[in-house]
């Protein structure tokens, strides 16, 4: 489509003078794909409109929270009703109890939960609690998994760290990651060797059960069970980072979908329905370490904010409707979109691997049949991805602006939108093929 971005361009120029890189989260800057980001003015259903009046089909969904699209009437009404009663108290509310019970009822691993304001807070606190519970300091994470920007979790991280090719993060002293061991994702042998050598000093293993921050990479057969086995044997705490997958891949998260129950779970995104809300929880004996009951301190002025909790409760109610029909719908939409992407690439002769779990999808520009870990992901052709992304945006489809980020589809994407994705992808792959022939 013929689009003008004059106002977005001017806003980006102005933003760069007062905000680092012009954005408040690095991947939004579009540096990995070239060009300037559209500045969004509004969203409705599966669509977003930028400041220049251009309309885009949103395949990011605010990076995961918007399972039901933008400005869903039920969520909006619930928030408006709460807004009239106030939006911050700094005191306990009945809403927090309702949300805690909803999480405990939904997530297999959670017997007790603490609300926070972001996924980063949730993972950071979960690890602190695991260390306090075990009396150990060692952390195991996996290459390409991103668990927020806490110092000790930025070793070989995914998301923006992978997008910008940062080997390490400046400002993080070596001592901060001295107790963090990073292993290849999906490598059971490396996992077992690490626990054979260091099992007695490892407090916890934290993992994205389906990786989304190096692109969508599912767990290899037996990998999650191996995590459960080695942590059970060593006394380490197994933490699932379900900030992306929680309430998205199933109502009980990836742990319900794959049938593996961790000791603790970090949550966010869908949980807040698009508002800043996170949570961490787990077994009662572990969670009783948290202050004021136990010695592990964690606090937050806006934790359990009534507006965020209200948006989250309304979203979870939508998830439960019609016997959780939204999850079947999202699986079907995800499969259809993955198929049209594969077909479009094949027609254009562009080698790609499309990986999809439920409503999470990534188009990897690689000749390999699958992407199983961070090393595989890093071998993908990011220049081709950038060319494809720009063409998709010009065709009206807003796709994640990085080879190393998953797309998140919403339940309000219909066959008409799938057809648009197919048409846009066909044109975009043709552009890639033409560029490669020059």
Residues forming the active site: 146, 241, 269
The residues that bridge with 53 in the sheet, in sequence order, are: none
Query: Do 294 and 270 form a contact (C-beta atoms < 8 A)?
Result: no
Query: Do 73 and 315 form a contact (C-beta atoms < 8 A)?
Result: no
Extract the tokens encoding 324. Answer: 């959780």
Strands 112-116 and 278-282: antiparallel
d(CA 330, CA 144): 25
Give, rounded to a whole angstrom, the gap between the first and last alpha carbons of the chain. Answer: 24
- 244: alpha, beta or left? (left if phi > 0; alpha if psi -120 to 50): alpha
Look at residues 360, 364, 344 and name the one whose alpha carbon lies nearest to residue 352. Answer: 364
Question: What sign for the dihedral angle of Cα 317, 319, 324, 326?
Answer: positive
Query: Do 280 and 123 form a contact (C-beta atoms < 8 A)?
Result: yes
CB neighbour class for 374 (10 Å; exposed up to 12, middle 13-18, buried from 19): buried
H helix intervals, 38-93: 73-83
Query: Do 425 and 432 form a contact (C-beta atoms < 8 A)?
Result: no
Extract the tokens encoding 259. Answer: 């049938």
H helix intervals, 235-305: 253-258, 284-287
Angle, in degrees to the nearest 10, between helices 223-234 and 188-198 = 10
């Amino acid at each position: 489509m013929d689009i003008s971005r004059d106002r977005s361009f001017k806003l980006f120029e102005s933003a760069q003078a007062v905000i680092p890189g012009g954005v408040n989260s690095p991947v939004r800057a579009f540096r990995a794909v070239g060009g300037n980001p559209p500045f969004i003015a509004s969203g409705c259903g599966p669509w977003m409109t930028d400041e220049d009046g251009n309309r885009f089909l949103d395949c990011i969904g605010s990076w995961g929270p918007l399972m039901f699209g933008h400005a869903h009437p039920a969520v909006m009404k619930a928030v408006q009703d709460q807004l009239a009663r106030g939006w911050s108290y700094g005191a306990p509310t009945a809403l927090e109890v309702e949300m805690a019970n909803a999480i405990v009822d939904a997530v297999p691993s959670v017997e007790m939960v603490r609300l926070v304001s972001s996924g980063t807070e949730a993972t950071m606190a979960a690890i602190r609690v695991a260390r306090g519970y075990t009396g150990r300091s060692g952390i195991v994470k996996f290459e390409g998994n991103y668990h927020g920007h806490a110092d000790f979790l930025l070793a070989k991280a995914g998301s923006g760290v992978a997008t910008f090719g940062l080997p390490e993060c400046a400002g993080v002293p070596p001592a901060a990651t001295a107790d963090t061991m990073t292993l290849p994702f999906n490598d059971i042998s490396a996992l077992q060797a690490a626990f054979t050598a260091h099992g007695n000093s490892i407090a916890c293993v934290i993992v994205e059960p389906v990786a989304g921050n190096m692109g969508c990479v599912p767990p290899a057969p037996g990998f999650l069970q191996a995590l459960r086995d080695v942590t059970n044997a060593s006394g380490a705490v197994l933490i699932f980072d379900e900030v992306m997958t929680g309430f998205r891949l199933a109502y009980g998260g990836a742990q319900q979908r794959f049938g593996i129950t961790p000791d603790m779970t970090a949550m966010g995104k869908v949980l807040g329905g698009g508002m800043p809300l996170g949570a961490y929880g787990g077994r009662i004996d572990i969670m009783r370490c948290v202050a004021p009951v136990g010695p592990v301190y964690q606090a937050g002025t806006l934790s359990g904010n009534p507006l965020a909790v209200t948006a989250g409760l309304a979203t979870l109610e939508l998830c439960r409707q019609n016997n959780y029909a939204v999850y079947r719908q999202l699986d079907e939409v995800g499969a259809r979109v993955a198929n049209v992407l594969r077909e479009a690439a094949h027609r254009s002769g562009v080698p790609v691997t499309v990986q999809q779990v439920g409503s999470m999808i990534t188009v990897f520009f690689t000749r390999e049949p699958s992407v199983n870990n961070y090393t595989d992901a890093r071998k993908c052709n990011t220049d081709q991805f950038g060319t494809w992304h720009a063409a998709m945006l010009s065709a009206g489809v807003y796709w994640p602006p990085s080879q190393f980020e998953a797309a998140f589809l919403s339940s309000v994407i219909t066959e008409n939108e799938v057809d648009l994705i197919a048409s846009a992808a066909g044109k975009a792959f043709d552009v890639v093929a033409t560029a490669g022939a020059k």
